[in-house]
Structure 1
Amino acid sequence: MRFTMLRRRTQERPRAYPLCPLLLAIAVWAACAGCATPSRITGWPPKTPGRVYVLEVTGYCACRSCCGWERNWRGQPVFASGPSKGKPKPVGLTASGTLARPGTIAADTRLFPFGTFIYIPGYGYGRVEDRGQKIQGYKIDLFFRSHAKALQWGRKQRAVKVWLPEKTIGKHRTTNIERRTSK
């Protein structure tokens, strides 16, 4: 009896795993599908011609010295000043509700509304998604991941190309900008 039991075990072939090739195919498909995602900048390229402006360009990051937040007694980030002083501050969240990342620009939204595309020589393309307390008039702030890179950029005067969003290129918006540039 013992001999037959041993013989049966040796004759049995190891069971193949029929799901392995299927799971491998799904993993490869998911990886390839992730490669085909659209770019992070939606609405590009704009259909309107861009205009050139000379702007004061500075850099900022999400740190407390750049964004004006501090920690409360519980260690949570809160607004350091303004009407929201002491209220919780969502660090890294822009005024338009998106997460700040390279390519995010803070600007005076009366001149350059959210969604405005701007090309800055030496930085690249970006989109206005934020506004700053000290960003008034023809000044923009470029987002950098680190404070050191923001300081390295410094404060520069640059001729930049601006594409306003289509929904704001009405008669009122265009004349308002032209009036301010003629000063």
Structure 2
Amino acid sequence: MKKNLFLFLTLLFISGCATTRRYAVPIDQSPERMTLTLTGYCECGICCGWKRNWRFQPVYAYGPNKGKPKEVGITSSGTRAVRGTIAADTRLFPYGTIIQVPGYGWGRVEDIGGAIKGHHIDLFFDSHQEAIEWGRQKKQVLIWKPRR
């Protein structure tokens, strides 16, 4: 019996069922429909602009923080980047905005990007290959902005 329970819990954990993210959208708020440019990113140095210094520590590769320590995989809002994390222009889509993207699923704005301006969002993927395969697309999405 214990062996079966252990196997079941192991399979549940491996399949990802135990770590599924859920997003609560207000039922009394209608979503806004908008066509956006969608690109993909991951936590690699190519996508996120970091490299390792001579001490093998991650640092910013360019920009005003060049050479300063970089926390890899941490968003600008302080959360860990996982599938469902979205980088956006927070002047248009404030932190906490929930977006449903056809072919990707649900996500929440938790990050910003240097090249992410206007009607363009960046979707987080677990690997660089997945981000590259997503490419650059234009799709109509559903948007629920947080209440103020």
- TM normalised by structure 2 equals 0.84
With a CA cutoff of 8 Å and minimum separation of 6, indicate the structure with the bigger relative contact order.
Answer: 2
Higher helix share: 1
The structure with the larger Rg is 1
Amino acid of the residue matched to residue 68 of structure 1? G
* Alignment partner, residue 129 of structure 1: 110
Counterpart position of 1:138: 119
1:45 aligns with 2:22: no
Report whether the alignment pairs 1:89 with 2:84: no
Q: 2:83: which partner in 1?
A: 102
CA distances 1:106-132 after superposition (whole Å, capped 9, x unpaired): 000000000000000000110000000
1:115 to 90, 96, 106: 96
Contact kept? 2:74, 2:81, Cα under 8 Å: yes
Matched-pair contact (CA < 8 Å) for 2:102–2:139? yes
Provide the residue aligned with 2:49 in structure 1: 68
CA contact (8 A) 2:41 2:47 kept: yes
TM-score, normalising length: structure 1: 0.69
Q: CA deviation at 1:39?
A: 6.3
Task: Report the alpha carbon displacement of residue 87 of structure 1 after superposing the two structures with TM.
Answer: 0.7
Secondary structure of 1:129's match? Answer: strand
Structure with more strand by fraction:
2
Are the structure 2 counterparts of residues 159 and 70 from structure 1 closer, same or farther at C-alpha, using a change threshold of 3 Å?
A: same
SS at match of 1:125: strand
The count of residues paired between Structure 1 and Structure 2 equals 135
1:141–1:38 distance in 2 versus 1, CA, 3 Å: closer
Quick one: distance in 2 between partners of 1:80 and 1:46?
40
Which whole-Å CA distance do the structure 2 matches of 1:125 and 1:81 have between them?
31
- The amino acid that maps onto 2:51 is E
Q: Structure 2 counterpart of 1:69, which letter?
A: W
Structure 2 gap segments, 5+ residues each: none
Taking a change above 3 Å as real, the CA distance of residues 38 and 157 of structure 1, as seen in their structure-2 partners, is closer
Q: Could you say if the C-alpha distance between residues 153 and 38 of structure 1 is closer, same or farther in structure 2, counting changes exceeding 3 Å?
A: closer
Partner-residue secondary structure (3-state), 1:166:
coil
Distance 1:141 1:64 in 2: 15
Residue of structure 2 equivalent to 1:149 = 130
Where does structure 1 lack aligned partners over 5 or more consecutive residues? Answer: 1-23, 168-183
Aligned-residue RMSD, C-alpha: 2.0
AA in 2 matched with 1:121 = P
Runs (4+) of structure 1 exceeding 6 A deviation are none
